[in-house]
C-alpha cells in the first residue's frame, strides 16, 4: 500500500499552484553555467539550462511531495551531452543522450524505487555530462496527496 503525505495548507508553494501560479524553485549549481527551475500548476517542473552547462550537477529543492513520472529534454545546441535525473545518489532515469540541435529526447525508464520526493527535499539532481548543454528539461509529476 502506498503511503501518502499531507500537504499543509500553510505551504506557500502549494497555495500558489492551486491558484494557477508558477513557483520558482531553488537551484544550486556545482560549478559552471546557469539554471532556473519552475514548478508549474500542471504538476510540471521546467528547468532551463544555459551558459554551456557541462560536467556539472543542478540540485533543486522541492517544496511539495511528488513523484517524477516522465522526463523530456530539448537541446538548443549541437553537442554530445548527457543528462541523468537522480534522487540524491540514486538514479531515477537512465542516461538521456543528446546530440543534435533542437533534439527532443525522452527518458526511456523511470525507477520507481527512487522517484519520490518529500516537502523540502534538496536532492532532485540533474547530472549533466559530456559536452556543453544548453536547453530545457521537463519533468512531469504526480502529487503525493493525502
Write out the three cell numbers for 53. Answer: 552547462
The predicted structure's pLDDT at residue 47: 94
Query: Whole-angstrom Cα distance, residue 105 to residue 75?
Result: 8
Q: How far is CA 89 from CA 46, 104, 119, 122, in A?
A: 21, 25, 18, 12
Q: How far is CA 77 from CA 21, 124, 132, 136, 146, in A?
A: 30, 24, 8, 11, 42
Q: What is the pLDDT along the chain (146 residues), one digit of tens a residue?
A: 444 445 554 577 777 777 788 899 998 887 777 889 999 999 999 999 886 566 678 999 999 899 999 999 998 877 788 899 999 889 999 999 987 788 899 999 999 999 999 999 999 999 888 777 788 999 999 998 76
Query: Which domains can be identified in the chain, with CATH numbers?
Result: 12-143 (2.60.120)
Amino acid at each position: 500500500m502506498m503511503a501518502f503525505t499531507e500537504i499543509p495548507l500553510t505551504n506557500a508553494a502549494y497555495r500558489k499552484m492551486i491558484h494557477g501560479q508558477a513557483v520558482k524553485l531553488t537551484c544550486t549549481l556545482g560549478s559552471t553555467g546557469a539554471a532556473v527551475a519552475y514548478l508549474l500548476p500542471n504538476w510540471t517542473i521546467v528547468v532551463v539550462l544555459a551558459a554551456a552547462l557541462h560536467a556539472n550537477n543542478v540540485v533543486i529543492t522541492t517544496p511539495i511531495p511528488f513523484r517524477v513520472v516522465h522526463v523530456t529534454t530539448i537541446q538548443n545546441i549541437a553537442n554530445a551531452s548527457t543528462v541523468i535525473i537522480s534522487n540524491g545518489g540514486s538514479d531515477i532515469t537512465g542516461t538521456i543522450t543528446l546530440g543534435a540541435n533542437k533534439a527532443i529526447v525522452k527518458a526511456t525508464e523511470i525507477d520507481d524505487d527512487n522517484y519520490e520526493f518529500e516537502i523540502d527535499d534538496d536532492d532532485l539532481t540533474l547530472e549533466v555530462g559530456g559536452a556543453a548543454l544548453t536547453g530545457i528539461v521537463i519533468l512531469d509529476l504526480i502529487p503525493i496527496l493525502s
